[in-house]
Amino acid sequence: MPEWQRTKPLLTTYARGYGFGMDMNGFGGTPAPPATARVTYPFTTLDGGSTVTRQTTGGHTWDYTIDGVAHYGWVPDWVEDLRIVGGPALVADLARGAESYLDSWAATRAHTTPVNLAAGRAATASSTQWSLFGSFVPGKASHGSGTTRWASARSDSQWWRVDLGAARQVGRVAIDWETAYAKAYRIQTSLDGSPWSTAASGTGGRGGTDVSVFVPRSARYVRVVMTARATAYGYSMYEVNVQAR
């Protein structure tokens, strides 16, 4: 119940059911009898198609409220108990679980990786950190390689920009930061390098992979304007991924 309640917002957001299954691992780990008797016999199964009474085997009459889930035959009784505790919404989610599982496979087959419009495109920046041992030029963040990176000089006010080569629809920018990330920055776009329009901005940056999603717009240039450093170093980005959505 708590798990279902905790994940309910996600189930609603993605229109999913709640999957459930049972593996008795021999005959251990099945649901025990409930502390309080709730299931009353006879009851109707969740699909409304069957009436369930206590089963008698030889001289023993089984009752979920006394025996718990003694074997797979008592799953309907267990679900009935969940219905009483969680209400019809829980049972409806359980009933849609299997379909959701199949849907997830269909969605996986249909999924295509969005094209990174910045890959291989020319980039410029406000500064580049000098290094005897490697290159941190702006193009290292639009090279399509997650191990190379651009790094700036050590000051708060810096920018990095990429030329997509032609006007494209842009609606999502993902920045893969090195440890030297920006706490505050803006994503701006432009059709010809000036003027610039702010598509997204934030001040609570936590580094890692930072994703900005906005209403898709036509842009040839995408610029990251950084205003607050997280470390005493400059800024450094492994890769900037620009997508239509």
Cα-based angle 207, 212, 218 (whole degrees, multiple of 5): 140
Residues 144 to 173 in contact with Ca ion, rule: CB under 5 A: 145, 148
Nearer to Ca ion, 29 or 134 (CB): 134
Q: Helix, strand, or coil here: 104?
A: helix
Nearer to Ca ion, 143 or 229 (CB): 143
Segment contacting Ca ion by CB under 5 A, of 39-47, 70-78, 115-123, 233-241: 233-241
Q: How near is the Cβ of 177 to Ca ion at its closest, in Å?
A: 12
Nearer to Ca ion, 76 or 234 (CB): 234
- Among 143, 168, 223, 229, the residue binding Ca ion under the rule CB under 5 A is 143
Sign of CA dihedral 4, 5, 10, 11: positive
Burial 154-187 (b: 16+ CB within 10 A, else e): eeeebbbbbbbeeebebbbbbbbbbebbbbbbbb
Segment contacting Ca ion by CB under 5 A, of 26-34, 36-44, 57-65, 140-148: 140-148
Segment contacting Ca ion by CB under 5 A, of 106-114, 133-141, 191-199, 208-216: 133-141
Nearer to Ca ion, 83 or 223 (CB): 223
Q: Under the phi-then-psi rule, with left for phi > 0, alpha for psi from -120 to 50, and beta for the rest, what region is 91?
A: alpha
Do 214 and 187 form a contact (C-beta atoms < 8 A)?
A: yes
Distance CA 163, CA 122 (A): 6
Nearer to Ca ion, 124 or 148 (CB): 148
- Among 70, 225, 239, 242, the residue binding Ca ion under the rule CB under 5 A is 239
> Which residues of the chain form contacts with Ca ion (CB under 5 A)?
140, 143, 145, 148, 238-239
